[in-house]
Amino acid sequence: MAKLLMIQGTSSNCGKSLLVTALCRIAKQRGIKVAPFKAQNMSLQSFVTEDGGEIALAQAIQAEAAGIVPLIHMNPILLKPAGQQGTQVVVHGKLYKTLKLNDFYWEKKKLWDAVKISLDYLTKEYELLIIEGAGSPAEINLIENDIVNMAVADYLKAPVLIVGDIDRGGVFASIYGTVKLLEEYDHLIKGFIINKFRGYIDILSPGIKKLEEMIKKPCVGVIPYIHETGIADEDGISLRLSNSFILKSDAAVKIVVLKLRYISNFSDFEPLRFEPDVELVYSLRKEDLINADIIIIPGSKNTFEDLTLLKQLKIDEILKELAKNKVEIIRICGGFQMLGEKLIDPYMVESSFFDLCMTEGRCHKEINGIGLLPVKTVFYPDKITTQVEGYLCSEPLIKITGYEIHKGISYGPMRLFKIKRKSTGQILFDGIVCENVWGTYIHGLFENDSLRRWLINRHRIKKGLNPIEYTFSWKKLKESFLDSISEIVEKHINMDKIWEIAGI
């Protein structure tokens, strides 16, 4: 049976995911067969496993840090907020149902059973299981229905470390309060870690010593604030989306990604952010759009609502004008559907709870698209989730890999990519191109180095600049970030104490 270590936190975004990622890499480097686990994750950043299952991207990155293939058991329950429809629930990689908040209480037993199945599998297959909690375990109004924090620790009798975020303030109070509100599980809590520290450790040390005395738990590390992790955020509350990171205003090519209300899988665009000649902006401002070389409409968890938002803001009209002016417009997944002629929803997959489509008490089953591509999309209850590989039809030497996650099927002259769906072996064409406007269902396209540079170089040449054939390998860059964060974490926590707590 696997040795165990669980990382819980005083809040969301306190560093649980990053710490689990780093510990997985450190354990791998020590030669330990390690796997990550998170019982339930709420995120619009998802990943498709080799067998076609959908899990949270964070657990896929953690598996990569551990040097193993991502599995559905590493995240048995994925929650994907879908606006007025409720929350889409993915269980063991497949769509289970869409639930309203109150419905989760009735589903607890079935979801908990799924968690236990995955835990039982992973603890038999690996030497060490590093488990991530969700949000705060001390939400005492929710503990009765918990299936992701102390319920998991108690089921496995796993030792727990509590992580606190000092950057948001009140770290001593938050750690103290968390431990005291979990007195029933005090025997499982073995220590705490302070994350995102800026300043001199000598100033912090008296507070750490006092807190250790008060809660009778040791501090096993103080991790500094890491400005660039290279790891995509789990949700839309992100520095990437707020544009508060440093912009490269002198970059040769400006790319604007539409900041949709229900944007999903915006990790698609991370590789573009690191290109030296690209300025990447998330925006709905007209000023940004009219100055862009490339505009990307990303995926959406609620295509109908985001399309209606674009129409309300008159962005559809701006896009039509910019298309006439030869601005390159790219659509991925939900964005691909929006730029077509019509979106049809006979099974009420997208529009069943969409009040903006209501007329005289009757829910519309279709909505007009922006009309920049000759394509119609029909939504079906079943979701397509698969990894793909193939090539760009106009440039067969440009090979691509990626993945599909969508319910709608689009009908039109598909000839942009020729692909193979790995989960089924099916060979087909994907995507449509009409001069400077093109769309595809394939996520992860810009992780392909040759395609990414092909796209950017076309705009360099258009501006009279020489193309740059190669800048970096995205795969190697990701590995360097994983190594970097693991080095920082290993340097600033007591790894001997970590291994002792885990029983290694």
Catalytic site positions: 333, 443
Q: How many residues does the chain have?
A: 504
Place of tokens 């509100």: 181
Place of tokens 């000649």: 277
Q: For residue 250, count CB atoms less than 10 angstroms from its CB and return exposed for 0-12, middle for 13-18, buried for 19 or more.
A: exposed
Q: What is the rounded CA–CA span in Å between residue 318 and residue 151?
A: 51
Q: What is the DSSP letter of 12?
A: T
Q: How many CB atoms lie within 10 A of CB 258?
A: 24
Residues forming beta bridges with residue 34, ordered by sequence position: 128
Q: What is the rounded CA–CA span in Å between residue 149 and residue 208?
A: 24
367 to 231, 277, 306, 334: CA distances (angstroms)? 36, 38, 12, 14
Q: What is the DSSP letter of 82?
A: -
Q: Which of 13, 2, 11, 1 is nearest to 36 (CA)?
A: 2
Q: What is the rounded CA–CA span in Å between residue 328 and residue 325?
A: 9
Helix H or strand E encompassing 122: helix 104-125
Q: What 3-state DSSP class applies to 394?
A: coil
Q: Which of 5, 8, 25 is nearest to 16 (CA)?
A: 8
Q: What is the CA radius of gyration of the chain?
A: 23
Single-letter residue type at 222: V
Q: How many Cα atoms sit within 13 Å of 161 on the Cβ side?
A: 32
Phi, psi angles (nearest 5°) of residue 274? -95, -5
DSSP codes joined into one string, 158-178:
--EEEEEEGGGS-HHHHHHHH
Q: What is the DSSP letter of 134?
A: -
DSSP codes joined into one string, 365-428:
SEEE---SSS-EEEEEEEEEEEEEEEEETTEEEEEEEEEEEEEEEEES---SEEEEETTT--EE
CB 116 within 8 A of CB 92: no
Residues forming beta bridges with residue 329, ordered by sequence position: 295, 437
Q: How many CB atoms lie within 10 A of CB 312?
A: 10
Phi, psi angles (nearest 5°) of residue 335? -65, -35
Q: What is the rounded CA–CA span in Å between residue 370 and residue 240?
A: 26
- Which pair of structure tokens corresponds to residue 22? 């780093």
